[in-house]
Structure 1
Amino acid sequence: MAILQPLVDIAAICYQQGVRHVVASPGSRSAALTLAFARHGGFAMHVCMDERSAGFIGLGIAQQTRVPVVLICTSGSAVYNFAPAVSEAFFQQVPLVVISADRPKEWLHQYDGQTIYQSEIFGKHIKRSFELSSDYAHKDVQWAINRIANEAVTLASTTPPGPVHINVPIREPFYPGAGEDMIASADLKVITRQASESILSPETWNNLLDDFEDFPKILIAVGQNMPDPELSEVLNKISEEWDIPILADHIANTTGDKIIRNHDLFLGRTDIQNLVPDLLITTGLSFISKDFKQFIRKNPPKAHWHISEDAFLADPMQSVTNIIPTSPQYFFQNLFEKIDYQLFVQNSDPETDSQFIQNWNIQDTKSSRIKADYLQNLSKINDLTSLDLVIKYTRKVYQLHVANSMSIRYVNVLDLPPYIPGVFCNRGTSGIDGCVSTAVGAALMNNEETLLIVGDVAFMYDRNGLLIESLPQNLKIVVINNAGGNIFRMIDGPAGLPELETYFETRHAFSAKRTCEDSDIAYFSCNALETLETSINQFLENEGISLLEIFTDPYENEQVWKSLKRACKA
C-alpha cells in the first residue's frame, strides 16, 4: 500500500495557512487527498455526495468566514460539477481552494474510466490553475508541490479573493495500508504572505478633493457587499452632514435610517430629471436594480468614481470616469476626515446642493407609502404579500439568505427590520443553482438563526444540498411555490409568447414535502391568506430546521407585481 507524502503535506500546509473547513465528495481516486485532510485532525470535514451542492456549501462557509475552504473531488465529470460554484465564487469574490484528483495524463483517450481533460478545466473563472506532477519521488517535484500549496491558499485570500484550482494526478496504489500513519514531513515549509493596504498619494487626494468640491449634486450608490458596520457608519455621517443621498440594495448590507431603499419602484419614471447627479460614486459588486442601472445609462453624470481593488474595469452603468483602487472603508473614511477638516479650517459649510437629497427622499418616501398602502389592501395570497408577512413576523434576529430570480427582486422592494444582520444572495452569476446549498453552508458557520427565501424551481434544482449527514438546525426555509418560473411572467419578452408555460415557466405539480421527509425537516404549508399568519408563526416557533411552503397563483403574482410597479410610477 502507499502513503503519498506530498499530498499529506498539502493538508498540513492548508492548516498552517489557516484553512479549517473541507467539503469532500466521495470517490476513489481522491482517497489519498480526502484521507490526508480527514486524518490530520484539525479540519471540520463536511461530506456531500453531489459535487455541485458540495461546491456551494463550501461557498456558503467561505462567505461567512472569509477564509478559504477546501473542496475535494474525484476525477472525471465530478470536477465539472464544481463549475457553477467556482464561477459564482469568482464573480462574488469568495475564497475557495479546489483540489481535484486526476488520472495520469498518459491514460487520456485510452478508454480509461473517469479520465477527461482536467487541467485548467474552469477556464477563466478561476484566479489561477495549478497542476502537480504525477511522480512525487524527485526532490524538485516535492519542492514544487509544497510551493504550489502555499501559493494557492494565499492567492485565494489575496484581494480580491476568489477560487483557485489544484489538479492532482494520482497513480495507484493510493490507499494507505493498515497501521500506516499520515504524518506531515518534518521539514514542512510554510510560506506566508503579508497583507497590504492600497492607499492614495497626497497628490491624488488633492486632485480628488478639488474635483469633489466642483459637484453640488453627489450620489453614492453601494452594490453587493459584506456587512461592514464601519463603512455604514461613515456613509451615514457623509449623508447626514453633507446632504448626500446614499442608495443601496439590500444585498449592499448598508444600514441606516436615511438610506434610499425604494429606488427600484420610482427610477423607471420619466419625470425624475431632478435626481440626476453631477458626481456618482459607486462601490461594491453588482446592483439588483435594473432601473437604477438604466437610469444612469440614460442620464450619465459629469463624473463617475468607482471605488474598487478589482483587477477588472467594471462599468455596468457605462459612465465610469475614474477608478480609485482602494478599499471603500479607507476611501470614505479619509474623504470624510479630509473634507471635514477643510470645512473646519475654512469655517464654512459644504457646497453640496441640499435640495438634491430632498428630491431623492421625497421619491423614496412616496414610494414607501404607496407600497405600504398597496400591500395592505391585497386580499388574495400572493408571493409579495407572503414574503412581506414572513419578514414582518420574524421578530428575532435572522441572517437572511435569498435565492435568485423573483425571490431577490421581491425582497429588494420590501422593508427589512433593522435587526437583520446581513442579506446574502448569489449575485456573482445570479444563477438559481446552489441557493439552498449556499444557505446550508452559511448556517453551518454563522451561529445565528438563518432564514432562506427561495422559489420552487430554485429549491428543487438544489435539493441535494439537504442530503448532508448533519443539517444545521438553525436554518429555516421559506419556499414560494407558484408552480413554475414565475419571473418569466414579469419579463416583457417571454411574457407575451404562447410557449410561455411550456418552455419558460416549466409548469409542475411538485412540492417540497417529500424532500422534507427524506431530510427529516419539519414541514409546514399554506395556500390561503386567512391562514398565512398562523402558518408563519408555527413555522418560526418550531425548534430545529423547518420549512414553510407557501402555494401561490402565478397569474395573481403577475398582476400584483406589475400593479405595484405601475402604482409607484404613475
Structure 2
Amino acid sequence: MAILQPLIDLPEICHAHGVRYAVISPGSRSAPLTLAFVRHGGIQMQVCMDERSAAFIALGIAQQKGAPVVLICTSGSAAYNFAPAVSEAFFQQVPLLILTADRPKEWLHQYDGQTIYQTEIYGKHVKRSFEFPVDYTHQDSIWAINRVSNEAINLTMTPPFGPVHINIPVREPFYPTNLEKLVASDGIRIIVKTESEKTISTGIWHELLDEWDESRRILIVGGQHLPDAALSKTLAQIGEEWDIPIVADCTTNLTGSDSFIRHHDLFLNGANQANLVPDLLVTFGLSFVSKDLKLFLRKNPAIKHWHIGQDAFLADPTHSLTRQVPVEPQYFFKQLYEKVDYQLFVENNDSSIDSAYGAKWQDMERLALIFKHRKIDNLKSLNDLTSLNLIIKQLNGGYQLHFGNSMAVRYANLLGVESKLGIYSNRGTSGIDGCVSTAVGAALVNSVPTLLLVGDVTFLYDRNGLLIRSLPQNLKIVVLNNAGGNIFRMIDGPAGLPELDDYFETRHAFTARRTCEDSNITYFEVREISALQEAVTEFLKSETISLLEVFTQAEDNDRAWKALRSGIQIAD
C-alpha cells in the first residue's frame, strides 16, 4: 500500500500558511509529493521539465506574490539543477520551499540510480535544511514531519525572506492504486509564527537624530528593492523638502518624483568628485547595479554611514558602515521624516542641511540628462543602446520590466530607466542563468503587460524556460543579438586579449527564430536602424506572446557604450 499520509497532509499545511503556487519537474521518486499537491486542489500547479528553469520560474512567481512557492523534484542530479535559482533566491531574499524527493540513505554507493548525497545539498545557500524521517507511520515521525513542515514554511517568511529546503526520502512502493484516495487527515496541526514589527526605541532615535543634526551633507542611496509606492512617496518628500539627494539604481524601483538621481553612471566616473561626498550616508536595499556608484562611495567614505534593512549578515560593500539599523526602510524613512519635521516645527528652525550640496547633485543630474540625449541622438547605427532607448520610450511606462544580466541591466541603469509597474533583475548572484525563466514565472501571475529585455547569450542559455505547456500571453521578449555578447569587450582586461572572440565572447550564428517556432511565439526581427521604429510598433501591437530580435554589431555596441560612458566631467 502506497498511502504516505504525512506527505498527503503536507500541501494542506502549505495551503494553511498561504502557499498558492507550486512548480514541479516530473519524476518517479517525487510521485507521492506531486500527486499530493496536484490532488489537493487549492494550489496552482506549474510543470516544467527542466529543473533549472523550473526553479527560476518559481522564483519569478515568488517575487511577484511575496509568498513562498513550492518546488518539487525527483532524486539525484535533478535536485542539483535547482541550485542556481536557490542561490539567487537566497541573496535576493525571495521565499521558496524546496522539496526534493530522495532514496533512503542505505542505497548510497549501492549502484542504485539517481542516488546522491542530498542532505543539505544547497549548503549555506538556504536559510535552513531539514530532512523527513524515512518512516511515515510511527507517531514520533508523524509529529516530527508536521513540526518540520510548519517550521520550514514559517522560516521562508521570517525576515529576511529566503529559500528553505526539505529533503524527503521515500521507500517503494509509493504509487497509489486506482482505488486509493488521497485525503488529508482531520485536524492537521498548523503552527503559526506571530511576527512582531521591528521598531526603533526612543533612546536610539535620539542618537540617530543627533547624528542627523550634526551632518550638513546627507546622501540617501538605494540598492535593489521591490516596488513600494509609500517608500517612494516618503523619500520624494525628504528629497524635495530638505534638498537631500536620493540616488537610485533602476532596480531600486523609486518612482513618482523627478528629484530622484537616476543618471549617476554618467557623471560619477568624472575626475573631481569632492563636491558630492557626503558627511552622512544612508543606504537601503540590496546590491547596486552601478559599479561607479559603489566605487565612488568606497573611495569617498562618509563620516557616518547607516544601512537600513533586516539583513541576516552585516553587508558593507562601501567600506564605510558605522551603524546597522535592522528595520524596514518604509518604516524608518516615514518615522525619520515625521520626527525631523516635527523637531523643526517645534524649534521654529530651518534645516541645517547644506542645500548647496543637494543642488550640486541635481545640477549633475540635469547635465547628465542633456548629455544622454545628445549622445543618443548622435548614434546613427543600429546598436543595443539606441534600440533599448527607443523601445523604452514606446512603452510609456505601461509595462513591468525584466532585464537580463551582463549588459541589459547595465544599459537600463545607464539610461535611467524607470517603471511604475516595477523593474526586476536577478542581481542576487547576477548570473545569466534563469533570466528568461524568472520573467516567465512573473508574467504567469502578475496580470500586467510584462517585457523582458535580454542579450542573445542570456536568451539562448535559458530557452528551456519557454518549454512549459501554456506560456503567459502578457509577456513580450526583446533579444539584443550581437552574436556572442559584448560585456567582455567593454570591461577592462579581456577587451585587449587576442582570445576575446573565441574564448570570451564565444561568437555564434544562432537566432531566436526557431525557438519561437517551437514555442508558438510570434516572431519579429530588425537588422537596419531605418526599420527599427516600425518593427517596435508592430511588436508592441501584437496581442499574444511575442519576441523581437534586434541584430547589432559588436563594434557598434562598443562605440555606443563608450560614447555614453565617457560621461560628463565635474567642474572644480
- The aligned residue for residue 544 of structure 2 is 544
* 4+ runs deviating over 3 angstroms: none
Summarize deviations over 1:319-376 as a string: whole Å, max 9, x none. 1011011111111111111111111011111100000011101111111101101101
CA contact (8 A) 1:463 1:515 kept: yes
Report what 2:240 is aligned to: 240
Alignment of 1:353-364 (within 5 A): 353-364=354-365
Alignment of 1:279-318 (within 5 A): 279-318=280-319
Structure 1 residues 521-550: Cα deviation after superposition (integer angstroms, max 9, x where no partner): 000000110000000001000111000000
2: distance between equivalents of 1:388 and 1:420?
Answer: 17
Distance 1:360 1:202 in 2: 33
- In the other structure, the counterpart of 2:490 is 490
Kindly state the Cα deviation for residue 187 of structure 1 after the two structures are TM-superposed: 2.9
Question: Hey, what's the Cα distance between the residues in 2 that align with 1:33 and 1:527?
Answer: 48
* Partner Cα separation in structure 1 for residue 376 and residue 493 of structure 2: 27
Q: Any conservation in 2 of the 1:371–1:568 contact (CA below 8 Å)? A: no
1:366 corresponds in structure 2 to 367
Q: Which amino acid counterpart does residue 449 of structure 1 have in structure 2?
A: P
Which TM-score applies when normalising by structure 1? 0.99
SS of the residue 2:113 aligns to: coil
The C-alpha deviation readout for 1:502-524, integer Å capped at 9, x for no partner, is 11100000000000000000000
Q: Which residue identity lines up with residue 473 of structure 1 in the other structure?
A: Q
Does the CA-based 8 Å contact 2:94-2:162 persist in structure 1? yes
Residues 275 and 303 of structure 1: CA distance in aligned 2, closer, same or farther (over 3 Å): same
Per-residue CA deviation, residues 150-203 of structure 1 (Å, 9 max, x unaligned), is 111110011110000000000000001012111111131111111221111110
Secondary structure of the 1:523 match is strand
Q: Distance in 2 between matches of 1:297 and 1:43?
A: 47
- Opposite residue 366 of structure 1, the aligned amino acid is L
- Displacement of 1:396: 5.9
Rounded to whole Å, the distance in 2 between the matches of 1:290 and 1:135 is 52
What SS class does the counterpart of residue 39 from structure 1 fall into? Answer: helix
Q: Secondary structure at the match of 1:568?
A: coil
Secondary structure of 1:453's aligned partner: strand
Could you tell me which residue of structure 1 aligns to residue 522 of structure 2?
522
Confirm whether residue 202 of structure 1 aligns to residue 166 of structure 2: no
1:568 positional shift: 2.8
Listed as ranges, the matches of 1:446-465 within 5 Å are: 446-465=446-465
Conservation of the 8 A alpha-carbon contact between 1:265 and 1:569: no
> What is the total number of aligned residue pairs between the two structures?
569
Quote the offset at 1:269 in angstroms. 1.2
Paired residue for 1:128? 128
- The equivalent residue for 2:324 is 323
Which residue matches 1:145? 145
Q: Check the 8 A contact 1:440/1:465 in 2, yes or no.
A: yes
> Aligned residue for 2:13?
13
2:155 alignment counterpart:
155
Q: TM-score, normalised by structure 2?
A: 0.99
Aligned to 2:212: 212
Aligned-partner residue type, residue 565 of structure 1: R
SS in 1 for 2:385: helix
Percent sequence identity is: 61
Q: Which residue of 2 aligns with 1:470?
A: 470
Any residues of structure 2 matched to 1:283-432 within 5 Å, and which? 283-395=284-396, 397-416=398-417, 420-432=420-432
Cα distance between partner residues in 2 of 1:399 and 1:64: 11
Residue range with higher mean Cα deviation, 390-399 or 403-412: 390-399
Aligned residue for 2:430, secondary structure, equals: coil
1:506 pairs with 2:506: yes
What is the letter of the counterpart of residue 291 of structure 2? K
Rounded Cα–Cα distance in structure 2 between residues aligned with 1:512 and 1:185: 49
Native 8 Å contact 2:250 2:416 kept in 1? no
Q: Which amino acid aligns with 2:39?
A: R
Matches of 2:397 and 2:475, distance apart in 1: 13
Structure 1: any 5+ residue segments left out of the alignment? Answer: none
Show the counterpart of 1:440: 440
Structure 2: gaps (5+ residues): none
- Cα shift at 1:267: 0.5
Give the letter aligned to residue 18 of structure 1: G
User: What amino acid does structure 1 have at the position aligned with 2:345?
Assistant: F
Task: State how far apart, in whole Å, the 1-side matches of 2:288 and 2:537 are.
Answer: 32
8 Å CA contact 2:267, 2:569 repeated in 1: yes
Q: 1:420, CA displacement in angstroms?
A: 3.7
Instruction: Report if the CA contact (8 A) 1:98-1:166 is conserved.
Output: yes
